[in-house]
Amino acid sequence: MRGSSLATRLFLSATAWVVVILVITGVVLSSVYRDATERAFDRRLNLYLRTLVAEVATPDEPPDHQFQSLGEPLFELPLSGWYWQITRTDSDKTEIRASRSLWDKKLPKLEEHGSDLTAAGVRLGYVDGPEGQNLRMVERPVDLGADGKFLVDVAGDATEIFDETRSFDYYLGSTFVALSIVLVLTTIFQVRFGLAPLKRISESIADIRSGRAERLEGEFPVEIAPLARETNALIDANREIVERARTHVGNLAHAIKTPLSVIVNEAAAHGADPFATKVLEQTDVMRDQVAHHLERARIAARFTIVGTVTEVAPAIEALRRTMEKIHRSRSIAIEVDANAQARFRGERQDLEEMAGNLVDNACKWATSRVFIEVLVERPVEAGAGPMLRIIVDDDGPGLSEAERAQVSRRGQRLDESKPGSGLGLSIVIDLAALYGGSLTLGRAPIGGLRAELVLPGV
């Protein structure tokens, strides 16, 4: 079944099991019915046998009245298949009395056919009778003491057993064939409609890939709903990753474009100068390299692993050491109070970029101190995950409400004397939004600006 569909495999598997179960059930029922029919036939033979034994035990009965109480006309019909026979076994001369149906024939002895004597003193078995008939026979020895020893046999036509069993097998087989057809049709129905939601999901995903849809829509069974929900979450995460790559590329392109344009313009103004020519040449190389690596970054972002978890405390500590080296000349003291259990549901480089922009901005404006605090807030609503709160305070001049709104916009700077492109806070806002977080600016308790970054935790 290599390459076959799931529906086909399920159908073939279910059909095979149905056939096997019905065959086994049919064999068992046929065997049980045959045994029941045989037991009923044996009870009938034993009834005649007991009657004959009673007749043998009362020899004073007139001969014309003996063996008249069997009540079975078939014992009188020649070669009817129903026979009885009484054989005296204690005299030298064999004496046999038999039903008229035997005529001058004799019944074989069961003991000669390997039949065992039961605890009740009776033998049962199948023998070949007159005219090649298949007989079911019961045999019992009778010891009357001084009156003699006898062997009493009663035989009936076993065709009744075989015909009853064959008729039962025919109706049983017909019933099971009809039942098999019903079960196969039911299986087809269950497989087709049971797998219909999966087929719908497959078609919806194809629509998403082709651009005809954005998400899996509609109601799904309880068993399939988690799959649809996780698929939608994966689609959303992938879309966010692509959007993040575009944001990164746009931010980087915006930051590099203006300086390169200035360099090119200045070099072009001194076109005859060999140094200017070299600058123009290297600027072209820089533009090609930037375009190449930006494109690689855009492609790589599309294959970002969903579900990455980042340890926050080590990342913040590494960031603190880096910023202390960068701002060593200003003797800025950077303090960190990070919860060791803090985990960020995202990529480390994104966390470093967001926190790095906030800390770098705080160090630029701080007078002497920057304080970083990392908190983990447990979910208030059921089903929600924990949130990560990163607070960066500085003791600088701070910002008014209007100024805080202005610096949040892309490329906006309040003081051109400070280095930078003006993209820092806008990049943080964009990245935080992609992760479902946020950035708020306010007044720090130590006097300057407070940047409060909220991100999803683990």
Determine the residue type at 154: V
- Asked whether residue 423 carries a pLDDT value surpassing 60, the answer given is no
Neighbours of 367 (CB within 10 A): 14
Highest mean pLDDT among 15-19, 294-298, 343-347, 365-369: 365-369
Closest to 392 (Cα-Cα) out of 404, 378, 409, 374: 374
- Phi and psi (nearest 5°) for 278? -65, -40
Q: CA torsion, points 143, 144, 145, 150, in degrees to nearest 10?
A: -50
**CATH C-level class of 6-164:** alpha beta
Determine the residue type at 132: G
Give the predicted TM-score (pTM) of the model.
0.44
User: From CA 227, how far away is CA 215, in angstroms rounded?
Assistant: 13
- Pairing outcome for strands 343-344 and 310-311: antiparallel
- Pairing outcome for strands 83-88 and 149-157: antiparallel
Higher per-residue pLDDT: 428 or 44: 44
- Phi and psi (nearest 5°) for 154? -130, 130
User: From CA 441, how far away is CA 426, in angstroms rounded?
Assistant: 12
Q: What is the pLDDT of residues 184-243, one digit of tens each?
A: 888 778 777 777 777 888 888 777 765 567 778 777 777 778 888 888 888 788 777 767
Joined together, the tokens standing for residue 292 give: 């190449």
Mean pLDDT, residues 113-127: 78
Q: What is the pLDDT of residues 91-100, one digit of tens each?
A: 766 678 888 8
Q: What Cα–Cα distance (Å) separates residue 169 from each residue in 23, 39, 112, 118, 182?
A: 12, 18, 32, 30, 20
What CATH architecture does domain 310-456 belong to? 2-Layer Sandwich (3.30)
Closest to 84 (Cα-Cα) out of 156, 10, 178: 156
Looking at the chain, the whole-number percentage of residues with pLDDT higher than 90 is: 22
Least confident of 234-248, 300-314, 317-331, 342-356: 300-314
Place of tokens 């720090």: 444
